[in-house]
Amino acid sequence: MTTDTGVGIPAPSSSAESREQQSLATAAARNLATTTKSTPQMQGISSRWLLKVLPWVQVSGGTYRVNRRLSYAVGRGRVSFVKTGAEVRVLAPSLRELPVLRGFEDDAVLEELATRFVQREFRAGEVLFEAGQPINEVFLVAHGKINKIATGKYGDHAVVGVVADGDRIGDEALSSADSVWPYGGQAATAGTVLALSWPAFRELADRSEVLSAQLLQYFADAGKPQTRHGEAEIALAAGHEGEHELPSTFVDYELAPREYELSVAQTVLQVHSRVADLYNEPMNQIEQQLKLTIEALRERQEYELINNREFGLLQNAEYDQRIQTHSGPPTPDDLDELLSRRRGTRILLAHPRAIAAFGRECSSRGLYPGTVEMQGQQVPSWRGVPILSCNKIPIVDGHTSSILAMRVGEDNQGVVGLHQTGIPDEYQPSLSVRFMGINEKAIISYLVSAYYSAAILVPDAIGVLENVEISRPRS
């Protein structure tokens, strides 16, 4: 219905009035205004605690040599396996990780020895051997966990150790025919072992001159005076009276110490000259591109310091410095054992999900871990040692991870980071940005390089809690 205005023209409706623009629209106004912008953001930036807490040592020559006392230390202790269907075989070269075969060079003998291992399956709770029985076999754990069970002074049974994937147990049988088990072995989980009997090894040693010579050398080294760490003993006298003849001694060194060469992470940053010329206000395009590129390089640097096969901390931790969790999740008992195995632990490094799993275990026991201040931030701690997050520690199969305990610094014979400052075109310490020129397409190129490595000065500077269960239990 329309309203007559007296001249025959309908009056406009209220809806039509609302559609008429009465002021300048924001879309048009933006043409005359300067927007406020943020700098480019990057989701992949993490806390990078490892880079912050490692003491960095200047490596002027590009190589860092770790000199140690002469050690009669045996093999690292873990062997490797290959699985074909249900069949599991030991990789023959990895048998050099057994103490008695360290440095053995005859591959043919190792191949024959590998064929003498017999595969056995075990189920959870099964007793593999008992304390006091003769050791007549060596077991290589291909998969699963085995608890070492010993009888205490008052007749109670306790778990005194755990062996898991790649570990060996009973290798005393290879060096002595009359050894007995000082503990029992009970399976904590189902798994697979490869067993080698003492007679099978002895028969091969009798036929092989090189293997017999290897055994003689092993026994000779084992008979030399040495510390519990396998280092050559320093002869001392204490508690004597009168004119006692003092022993003479010297400190022997390793003849072939390990050397660490600086590694590098590099990329070529490319920026079109038109972008650099015309779009440099209010932010410098090259600087912003470079900032995010360096962030990515630093993230990669921390990943390599953890996982690199040559110098990564997780890969190069000695096997006798690795322990297994008692029940799966990281409990306060597990962290106590990890801390007790080394002096002066400075930091605990764990994946954020492992830290959360440890928090759940503490909550279930009514415990509340404290906090400490690290570089102006409050971080969780255990026994006064900060627990720092590191998302570069891998999660295996989606549910297990590792926790690292480290002593740091050259003065403490700990873990150190390696870098070289003062390099040409240095932009940050040990990171250079080098102009590479402009190509025929007017693209400016910069070579961005970060140089770094890490060294473990003595084996007990770093310990690893392995097979940490991080999945949340079903309620």
Q: What is the mean pLDDT of residues 54-64?
A: 93
DSSP state letter for 393? S
Q: Which of 89-103, 248-262, 269-283 has the highest mean pLDDT?
A: 269-283
Best CA proximity match to 404, nearest among 302, 265, 472: 302
* pLDDT on residue 16: 53
Burial class (CB in 10 A: 0-12, 13-18, 19+), 339: middle
d(CA 400, CA 402): 7
Two structure tokens written together for 219 = 């026994």
Quick one: pLDDT at residue 73? 44
| Closest among 143, 463, 446, 470 to 297, alpha carbons compared | 446
Residue 74 is predicted with a pLDDT of: 47
pLDDT bracket for residue 419 (50, 70, 90): very high
pLDDT in tens, 362-418: 999 999 989 999 988 999 999 999 999 999 999 988 889 999 999 999 999 999 999
Q: Is the pLDDT of residue 258 over 80?
A: yes
The predicted structure's pLDDT at residue 175: 58
pLDDT by residue (tens digit) across 85-141? 778 888 888 888 887 887 788 888 899 999 999 999 999 889 998 888 888 888 999
Sequence-distant (6+) residues with CB within 8 A of 448 are 266, 267, 268, 269, 290, 293, 294, 297, 427, 431, 432, 433, 434
Which residues, other chains included, contact 33 with Cβ-Cβ below 8 Å and sequence gap of 6+? none
Note the pLDDT tens digit of each residue in 278-325: 888 888 888 999 999 999 999 999 999 999 989 999 988 887 788 888
What is the spatial distance between Cα 308 and Cα 253, in angstroms, rounded to a whole number?
A: 27
- Stated pTM of the model: 0.75
Confidence of residue 347 (pLDDT cuts 50, 70, 90): very high
* Averaged pLDDT score across all residues of the chain: 85
